[in-house]
Amino acid sequence: MTVLRLITAIALILGFSVASFPAAAQQTETVYRIGFLTTGSVGGFTARLAAFRQGLRELGYSEEKNILIEERYAKGRRERLPALASELVGLGVDVIVTHGGRPASVADRTARAMGKPTPIVFPVSANPLVTKVVASLARPGGNVTGLSDTHADLVAKRLNYLKDVVPSASRVAVLMDSRSPSQVPQLEELRAAAYRLGMTVVPVEFSRPDALDRAFSVLRRERPDALMHFGYALIATYRKQVVTFALEDRLPTMFTIARSVELGGLRSYGTTLLDLYRRTATFVDRILKGAKPADMPVEQPTRFYLTLNLKTAKALGITFPRSLLLRADQVIE
């Protein structure tokens, strides 16, 4: 009888131990907190964050299991960035993903001031050297790294594509934020390219959400022959309004990403931001596994896409040259 009780007791103990293994595994699995910070608004980043989440899933992360993403949007009010960055740092996030160099710089300064240096990754930055968020592309040297979409390097090519389609254009307007350090060299490059083509540039300030109507008023007064913009978060948030205005005022447009052309813009030339956001997951994964941003080179895209909208061209009375159609990566009909 004693032996039977002993065997039963051992069986119960073993059964309890085996049953408790899954619960113990769940309790010990690390849940990483990832912050996301941008000057823009929610609507402009839904698809991009979906691409980022997809990249994380491909690497074995899941919001139901081992990651938690905290999103913060300044909604066009850049003065809110320090407070939002402070919230993320206060939550103890393991890494912060920022759209652009300015939020990255603000997040880095905020984290250091709070005594909690935090790794930061930017999926997009027109020129991280100009904004001084990294010391060099090969060796960032601090807590910030990421991917550069090299907007400044593509400005001249975009203007050339614009001239190919509207050869009579002599004045091109550009929506921009003059307070952004990365946009100053883009404006210089655009002016140099315009000079070579016998064109002039009309800068139109758009740095706050409440300045959009004012920017449209300037465009109506100046009557440029075409419209461009420099890629930044505020434009991403209000791209639909910009596209609608350009169509109503019969302004040929050149955008930085295909999404604007899908919404009715005339054409775009640049990188695919969804790919950059998906690739950002790899940076985050390496950091969560112990890599230091200082030692992670900034990546630059090697593939650029030309997108054309035939429906918009027809509405504007424009015919794309056959050579341009043959070079296009995507033609929307």
Domain tally for the chain? 2
The string of DSSP letters for 282-304 reads HHHHHHHTT--GGGSPPB-----
Judge whether 205 lies within some domain. Answer: yes
Judge whether 46 lies within some domain. Answer: yes
Judge whether 266 lies within some domain. Answer: yes
23 pLDDT band (50/70/90 cuts)? very low
Do 159 and 137 fall into the same domain?
no
- Give pTM, 2 decimals: 0.77
Judge whether 52 lies within some domain. Answer: yes
Do 134 and 236 fall into the same domain?
no
Judge whether 129 lies within some domain. Answer: yes
CATH of the domain at 197: 3.40.50.2300
- 169-192 pLDDT per residue, tens: 999 999 998 887 778 888 999 999
What contacts 24+ positions apart, CB below 8 Å, involve 256-262? 256/151, 256/154, 256/158, 256/229, 256/230, 256/231, 257/231, 258/305, 258/307, 258/330, 259/47, 261/307, 261/308, 261/309, 261/312, 261/330, 261/332, 262/307, 262/309, 262/332
- 75-123 pLDDT per residue, tens: 988 899 999 999 999 999 999 999 988 899 999 999 999 999 999 999 9
Judge whether 44 lies within some domain. Answer: yes
Do 88 and 223 fall into the same domain?
no
The sheet that has 226-229: what strands, in order across it?
A: 200-205, 171-176, 226-229, 253-255, 267-270, 305-309, 330-332
Judge whether 69 lies within some domain. Answer: yes
pLDDT at 121: 97
Range of the domain at 115: 30-149+273-295
Main-chain phi, psi angles of 71, to 5 degrees: -105, 135
- 45-57 pLDDT per residue, tens: 899 999 999 999 9
Do 141 and 231 fall into the same domain?
no
Judge whether 164 lies within some domain. Answer: yes
Do 188 and 88 fall into the same domain?
no
Do 158 and 88 fall into the same domain?
no
- The gap from C-alpha 273 to its chain's centroid, in whole angstroms, comes to 6
Do 181 and 217 fall into the same domain?
yes
Q: Position 253: which residue type?
A: T
